[in-house]
Amino acid sequence: MIRKKLAAAALLLALSLVTTARAEGDAKRGEVRFQECAACHKLEAGANEVGPSLHGIFSRKAGELPDFRYSPAMKRSGVGWTPETLDKYLADPQAFIPANRMPYAGLSNASDRADLIAYLQKATQ
């Protein structure tokens, strides 16, 4: 239990460090940005549709949910989802994890990505 709490605290610290390292995102604007994702991704736990549920994404590794059919590329990627890795992924999904199956060309604007990630950090807990 204590170990878990420590780990959570360490994660929180890590998250806040990363957040300060990137552009500060606006979660409110990010909620609007999320419309780009919402046709395929839900935020509720277990709600896998065309894309996997995003619930708890920042405590997951890529391709980890047992009941979603990921691409081999996603499973093999070894990426752990942090605001930083998600930022890279969303900037150019095929460049960051080649041959993944998400039909999305990417979000090129860095501040749009920061907003979206700020929103996801709140909404996926």
Partner 1 sequence: MTTKLKEVDVVIVGLGWTGGILAKELTEAGLKVVALERGSMRTSENDYALPNIRDELRYVVRHDLMQNTARDTITVRNNPQQDALPMRRLGSFLPGEVVGGSAVHWSGHTWRWTDMEFKVRSNYEERYGKKFIPEDMTIQDWGITYAELEPYYDKFEYTAAVSGKAGNLGGKIQQGGNPFEAPRAREYPLPPLTPILASEMFSDAARNAGYHPFPRPSANASQSYTNPDGSKFGACQYCGYCQRFGCEANAKGSPHMTVIPIAMARPNFELRTNSWVTKVLKDSDGKRVTGVTYTNILDGEEFEQPASIVLLCAYAINNVHLMLLSGIGAPYDPVSQKGVIGKNYCYQTGASATLFFEGKYFNPFMNAGGSNDTIDDFNANWAFDRTPHEFVGGYVVAGGFNTPLPIGYRPVPSGTPQWGSEWKRATAKWYQTAMVINASGSVMANRYNCFDLDPTYRNAFGLPLMRMTFDYKANEHKMGIHAAATINTIAKSMNPTKLNPASARTDPWTVVPYQSTHNTGGTIMGTNSRDSAVNKYLQSWDCHNLFVVGANVFPHNSAYNPTGPVGALAYWTADAIKNRYLKNPGPLVNA
Site map 96..125 versus partner 1, x via CB under 8 A: -----xxxxx--------------------
Q: How far apart are CA 36 and CA 33, in angstroms?
A: 6
Strand partners, 80: 61
Site for partner 1 contains 21 (CB under 8 A): no
Q: Out of 15, 22, 23, 48, which residue is the one contacting partner 1 (CB under 8 A)?
A: 48
The answer to whether residue 2 forms part of the interface with partner 1 (CB under 8 A) is: no
DSSP string, the chain: -HHHHHHHHHHHHHHHHHHHHSPPP-HHHHHHHTHHHHTT---STT--SSS---TTGGG-BTT--TTS---HHHHHT--B--HHHHHHHHH-HHHHSTT----------HHHHHHHHHHHHHHT-
- Count the site residues for partner 1 by CB under 8 A: 16
* Contact between 38 and partner 1 per CB under 8 A: yes
Query: Can you tell me which of 18, 40, 91, 123 binds partner 1, judged by CB under 8 A?
Result: 40
Q: Which is nearer to partner 1, 37 or 54 (CB)?
A: 37
66 binds partner 1 (CB under 8 A): no
Residues that bind partner 1 (CB under 8 A): 35-40, 48-50, 69, 71, 101-105
